[in-house]
Amino acid sequence: MITLLADSNGLRHLGLKAYLATSCDHAIALSDLTLIEMRKSNALSTSRNSLRITAQFTQQTYVLRRTDEILAENIASASQIPSLFDYEETSQLAGLSRQLQAIPEPPGLRAHMAELEANAQTVMSRLTEEVAPLEAGLVDAATDFSQAELTQIRTTAGITDSTRSKLLGLLKETTGSFILANQEPGRREPMLLRDAMGLFAFRYSLCMLLYYMEWVRVGRTTGKALPRRVNDVVDMQIAAMGTFFNGVLSADTALQVISKTARGVLRGFGAYVGDDWRVPVPDGEADQSREDHPGESG
């Protein structure tokens, strides 16, 4: 099965309907944060519009388990991917998608969406508190790399042993900090690289580093407003989860760049990454195409 991780604007991608209609083996997955973003403001109308296409393909639309529920999952092969799906939430989303498109509007739907909106706002407020102190440390880490090293990582071409070693060292540090803060607070023993690469913590740390490395590469170090940084952190979680699948479906150029770079870096480390696929905007091309190399533009 080919599965793409879609963000909120990816659900309105002009090629999504053709992609899903082409084959029953084509699917999309939605993270918990994608649903939260969809519902944080005007949940009823936003969800109705965002889920208009997937409501026609509920058997091919999956919801992932919450991020905190998959931290211990160590994905090393395609056979382990089903462990990332939340089948109960998938079923509930299918029913809700049909209700949102129903005419007349089903009784109780408006009240239910109001509850989901309130919950989404609570989650986003908590995420904002967590994101606020992140920037300074990650910018400092990114500035340890020279422009040449940043370009090597950005293009995933000609990465030298010294650059790879520096990136790995920084990744071990940031992954360890993430695990201690969110996964195993009392852990003291070190974790081998081969055991870390299949964890969400490692891939999320990589995406966050790449995000700030791109800032430094183009000469920017600080200045993004906090709400925008929160949105970017959500995007980096989507990019990280997308490395387990066949890519991300999004109109966000920055997210696509980080996703593609992360996939290339992970492959260079020998980690499992799903084969690359993309959904082009219909213009006479095929409805889906396979990318032979993660670093190619498509």
Whole-model pTM: value is 0.82
Instruction: State how far the Cα of 25 lies from the Cα of 259, in Å rounded to an integer.
Output: 22
Which of 87-91, 147-151, 172-176, 291-295 shows the lowest per-residue confidence on average (mean pLDDT)? Answer: 291-295
Please say whether the beta carbons of 263 and 294 come within 8 A: yes
Distance of CA 135 to the CA centre of its chain: 19
Instruction: Check whether 198 has a pLDDT greater than 70.
Output: yes
Instruction: Check whether 178 has a pLDDT greater than 80.
Output: no
**Confidence at 176, pLDDT banded by 50, 70, 90:** low
**For 12-67, what is each residue's pLDDT tens digit?**
998 999 999 999 999 999 999 999 999 999 999 999 999 999 999 999 999 999 98
Kindly report the number of other CB atoms within 10 A of residue 46's CB atom.
Answer: 17
Using only C-alpha atoms, the chain has a radius of gyration, in whole angstroms, of: 19
Q: Which tokens sit at 126?
A: 């908590």
Instruction: Check whether 121 has a pLDDT greater than 60.
Output: yes
Which H/E stretch holds residue 264?
Answer: helix 253-269
DSSP letter string, 280-291:
PPPSSS-S-EE-
